[in-house]
Amino acid sequence: MKFGSRIAPVSHHPDDDSEVIDRTLREVDLAEASGMHAVWLTEHHFSGECAYADPLVFGAAIAARTSRIKIGFAVLQMALHEPVLLATQTALLDNLSHGRLIVGTGRGTAINHFEYAGFGTTMEEGAKKLAEAEDLLVKAWTCENLQFKGKYWEASFPMLRPRPFQKPHPPLARACLSEESVSNMAMIGRPILIGGASNEVLGQRLDTYRETMANAGFDQAAVDEACGMSWVSKSLYIADSYEEARDAARVGYLRDMEHIQNARKRYDGPKTGARAPRAGESDEERFNDDFVLGTPSQVADQIAELRDLGVRNLMLQNSFGGMSFDKVRRMLTQFGEEVIPLFS
């Protein structure tokens, strides 16, 4: 298995943004030192749900201060980006990192209408444009003398410069929130990013992914390659006992969730929750689904269960709720020394 660190720091007050961003860069250094394969960046705007907001600029800072770790997006909100400009930005970042970029895409947030409004679009419009946006992104990376005429974009240019460092382009994966989206990506053999679900549901979706790829005519080597590029997301908390880990993780998790939910109520008003995934679950149920926690040995046992369900790559959010930097450092050090070697 490969492991990644999901870097999604909530900043609870505008005055804290700069400090949170600085601390998050130091956490990236820890992730590389601990043996993590990748850091995964998210994108949220206007509410502090993600302190750095722009994963492209933040990714460039990471490329400049690291040498080994992959830089992944989980995910770029495609509804908020012009595809040709995004192709240029990601190609540059792929060169700056010397081929360490993984591009995870999605329509955008499934619930924050205010983020779409801030960029002059809507959730519904973003969904309609997603497939064409990805098509133009890939063509911009790879084609010469491009003549593109779609429903939403037209583009004509001789060649993208710089070209991506990786050939033909950086790995591309799609965030999937539903069984249907998993099947759709399997039909075209695209790697997936999935999370926010119980182990039982994750196992079912990974089974669906493999079976659908096989039924679509992909051979076993292609299925294995796509699974080897797909990632599952959870959160991590390590402590001296299961009870201590659960209690401390729950406090931090609920603090962040309260901030995020309050922003949605304040900025979205009556639209809040209209299309929210997992809308029928309580915060407690989401917490139980989202975490691997306990002592290093207990965490390893929980990861082994995920491995046995077919998880090949696991990204872990290891900082939340205003957790101290010292705690993050201890946790990542323990994870690197006592857990990662068990799955090498």
Helix H or strand E segment including 100? none
DSSP 336: I
Beta bridge partners of 173: 104
Helix H or strand E segment including 291? strand 291-294
pLDDT at 269: 78
Mean pLDDT along residues 318-324: 94
The β-bridge relationship of strands 2-7 and 313-317 is parallel
Residue 283: band (very low, low, confident or very high) from pLDDT cuts 50, 70, 90: confident
49 close to 80: Cβ distance less than 8 angstroms: no
pLDDT at 275 exceeding the cut of 60: no
pLDDT at 274: 45
pLDDT in tens, 245-258: 999 999 999 999 99
d(CA 170, CA 95): 10
* CATH fold for the domain made of 2-343: TIM Barrel (3.20.20)
pLDDT at 195 exceeding the cut of 70: yes
pLDDT at 282: 83
d(CA 211, CA 216): 9
The β-bridge relationship of strands 154-159 and 144-149 is antiparallel
pLDDT at 127 exceeding the cut of 80: yes
Helix H or strand E segment including 52? none
Residue 281: band (very low, low, confident or very high) from pLDDT cuts 50, 70, 90: confident
pLDDT at 271: 64
pLDDT at 151: 98
Higher per-residue confidence, 196 vs 64: 64
d(CA 268, CA 277): 16
pLDDT at 264 exceeding the cut of 70: yes
**Environment class of 269 (CB within 10 Å of its CB; exposed 0-12, middle 13-18, buried 19+):** exposed
Which pTM was predicted? 0.96
Q: What percent of the chain stands above pLDDT 70?
A: 97
pLDDT at 233 exceeding the cut of 50: yes
Residue 270: band (very low, low, confident or very high) from pLDDT cuts 50, 70, 90: confident
C-alpha gyration radius of the chain:
19
d(CA 214, CA 71): 29
Residue 106: band (very low, low, confident or very high) from pLDDT cuts 50, 70, 90: very high
